[in-house]
Amino acid sequence: MSKRGLSDVVTTVLVILLVLAAIVLVWAFLQPALKKSAQSIETESLISSLIIVRGTVIDYTNAKVTTFMVKRESGPGEVVGFDVVLEGFDGTRKVFRDYETKAMKEFETAVVVIDYSGSINSLKKIILAPLITNPNTGQPITGKTLGNHELTDDERKKTDCNNIPYISGEWCCGADINRDNHVRADDLNIFRAQYNNDGCSAPTWCNNADINRDGTVSISDYIDLAAQYAKEQDQGQNPPPHCFGNYIT
């Protein structure tokens, strides 16, 4: 082979190597952006998937406890929970990371009760951020914030620590679901498990979660439970037992 022919081969090989090197460099530059873009598209598609259920927001201003229900609507992707962001009138924000960490199916609801004492003085807004499974890694990522709900005056309530409105013999108006003399997270968990059950009847009334005894564990029962839960929180860290009675049927 002549020197000229050899030179042409070397030149061709060098050109190929340069092209390959350029492709590698371009891919290294574009890959993070493409990955981020894919995640962004996935997040964008879920913006309308979580909503705060209308009529369920209650903020007990002096107890600094807010409660509401979150519903997942129809939409693509796997929602495995959500963060809750609370914002005060002074702009202060408190993020409750991984508030809910279980998968939510379409049209499924979750009950939220948050004690924000010590973090926000006066609550103005409630914001949600879905936790979505990244299809590339299988790990949860935080989606865009949504459900930007600004509280109304009607949603702000006050509780009176010295005048708990329950009648002796009614287990704190029925909100002490497990009958342990308090209205706590255990009662809320029982309610969550029974929510939307429409086959409640005497004597168990869906493990007492059907508080108003209308046959269905619904939002109205949730509001009764939330009211008594807030009053319990208002008593301090270790309130004395105060729910008693034989309110079964």
* Statement to judge: residues 232 and 209 lie in one domain: yes
* Statement to judge: residues 141 and 54 lie in one domain: yes
* Statement to judge: residues 71 and 153 lie in one domain: yes
* Statement to judge: residues 220 and 232 lie in one domain: yes
Q: Which long-range contacts (CB under 8 A, 24 or more apart) does 102-107 make?
A: 103/78, 103/79, 104/50, 104/72, 104/79, 104/80, 105/72, 106/72, 106/73, 106/74, 106/75, 107/71, 107/72, 107/73, 107/74
* Statement to judge: residues 179 and 242 lie in one domain: yes
Instruction: Write down the pTM of the prediction.
Output: 0.57
Q: How long is the chain?
A: 249
Can you count the helices (H) and strands (E) in the chain?
3, 10
Q: Measure CA 236 to chain center.
A: 25
* Statement to judge: residues 74 and 167 lie in one domain: no
Given 106, 138, 157, the domain boundary residue is 157
Q: Which residues contact 203 (CB under 8 A, 6 or more apart)?
A: 248, 249
Domain CATH code at residue 200: 1.10.1330.10
Q: pLDDT digits over 191-225, tens only?
A: 989 999 999 998 889 999 998 888 999 887 887 78
Q: DSSP of 52-102, one letter per residue?
A: EPTT--EEETTTTEEEEEEEE-S-SS-EEEEEEEEEETTS-EEEEEEEE-S
* Statement to judge: residues 114 and 132 lie in one domain: yes
Domain CATH code at residue 79: 2.60.40
* Statement to judge: residues 57 and 144 lie in one domain: yes
* Statement to judge: residues 40 and 66 lie in one domain: no
Cα distances from 27 to residues 19, 30, 39, in angstroms, run 12, 5, 18
Of residues 63 and 87, which shows the higher confidence score? Answer: 87
Q: What is the separation, in whole angstroms, between the first and last Cα of the chain? A: 103
* Statement to judge: residues 152 and 106 lie in one domain: yes
What is d(CA 79, CA 19) in angstroms, rounded to the nearest whole number? 42
What is d(CA 40, CA 35) in angstroms, rounded to the nearest whole number? 9
**Closest CA relative to residue 151, chosen from 48, 68, 71, 63:** 68
Given 114, 131, 157, the domain boundary residue is 157
Q: pLDDT digits over 128-149, tens only?
A: 988 888 777 878 887 776 668 9
189 DSSP 8-state letter: H
Judge contact between 33 and 60, C-beta under 8 A: no
* Statement to judge: residues 66 and 38 lie in one domain: no
**Count of domains forming the chain:** 3
* Statement to judge: residues 103 and 145 lie in one domain: yes
Q: Which long-range contacts (CB under 8 A, 24 or more apart) does 165-169 make?
A: 166/228, 166/242, 166/243, 168/244, 168/245, 169/244, 169/245, 169/246, 169/247
The pLDDT, as a whole number, for residue 209 is 92
What is d(CA 74, CA 82) in angstroms, rounded to the nearest whole number? 16
Q: pLDDT digits over 217-246, tens only?
A: 988 788 778 878 877 766 666 777 777 765
Given 123, 157, 191, the domain boundary residue is 157
Q: Which domain holds residue 20?
A: 1-44
The stretch 117-123 carries a mean pLDDT of 87
Asked if the model's pLDDT at residue 22 lies above 80, the reply is no
Phi, psi of 230 (to 5 degrees): -65, -40
